[in-house]
Amino acid sequence: MNGAEALVATAIKNGIEICFANPGTTEMPLVLAFDAVPGVRGILCLHENVATGAADGYGRMAGKPAMSLLHLGPGLANGLTNLHDARRASTPILNVIGEHATWHAPADPLLASDIEAVARFVSGFVRRNGGADGMAADVAQTIEATRAHGGQIASLIVPHDFQIAETAGEIPARRVAPNATFSEQKVMHAARALKRGRSALLLGGAGLSEAGIQLAGRIAAASTSRGVMSGARTQLLIL
């Protein structure tokens, strides 16, 4: 098994079912790995913003991360618009970005860039893989990071030589996500505030799902909130 196959196998074990991709030659080992390790449906997109937009939409509707595959720093930059929207919506996305081989980097090759700096603009978590033997652990940790803070983009940068290098590393077992918890004290505080006078509910993330909006409507009807006002694309204000 090479590093690319370890990446795909770990993604499958951690619940990734679909990858929206606009790859280049640097990511060809990952493309081949989709056939070698079946279980992820790969969808070729003709532009990076199509790939990132589809991953955003899937993550919002399915409530779990999709995988996006982009070509180097410029490919990531081409997909930033919809990754920006996904960040604002707290959409979970496993964002995989190919990188030049480590031995080639000192030559400042064509399309070389500071991928970490670009990725941090939209990502809550950024990791650069340091070798094929650590690939599976890096993927598992990156996927786990997509679930943090109510959902976020987690980006993994994968150099070409680590994609093709052989690895004997084991695929880690899927980590069980802890159940969501809430503070009873905060709930009581919010209930008192809603009944005290004119109030508002600001929704985001999962609160914008069908179930979330229906629940917000019930809360508004039982409190002093009046009417609905739309805010930004990822927010809804119940007045």
CATH number at residue 88: 3.40.50.970
**138 lies in some domain:** yes
60 and 16 within one domain: yes
The one-digit pLDDT tens for each residue of the chain (239 residues) are 999 999 999 999 999 999 999 999 999 999 999 999 999 999 999 999 999 999 999 999 998 999 999 999 999 999 999 999 999 989 999 999 999 999 999 999 999 999 999 999 999 999 999 999 999 999 999 999 999 988 999 999 999 999 999 998 788 877 776 666 778 888 888 888 888 777 777 777 677 778 888 888 888 777 765 544 444 444 455 54
Which residue intervals of 68-154 are DSSP H helices? 72-78, 80-88, 115-120, 135-146
21 and 128 within one domain: yes
**123 lies in some domain:** yes
pLDDT for 73 equals: 97
Task: Find the domain containing 19 and state its range.
Answer: 3-164
199 and 131 within one domain: no
How many independent structural domains does the chain possess? Answer: 2
Give the whole-angstrom CA distance, residue 200 versus residue 3. 50
pLDDT for 205 equals: 67
202 and 128 within one domain: no
205 and 114 within one domain: no
Nearest to 157 by CA among 64, 87, 52, 71: 71
192 and 157 within one domain: no
194 and 160 within one domain: no
Domain boundary among 115, 132, 164: 164
pLDDT for 169 equals: 77
218 and 100 within one domain: no
Nearest to 85 by CA among 221, 198, 234, 238: 234
**67 lies in some domain:** yes
210 and 159 within one domain: no
Tell me the backbone φ, ψ of residue 125, rounded to 5 degrees: -150, 135
pLDDT for 226 equals: 56
127 and 26 within one domain: yes
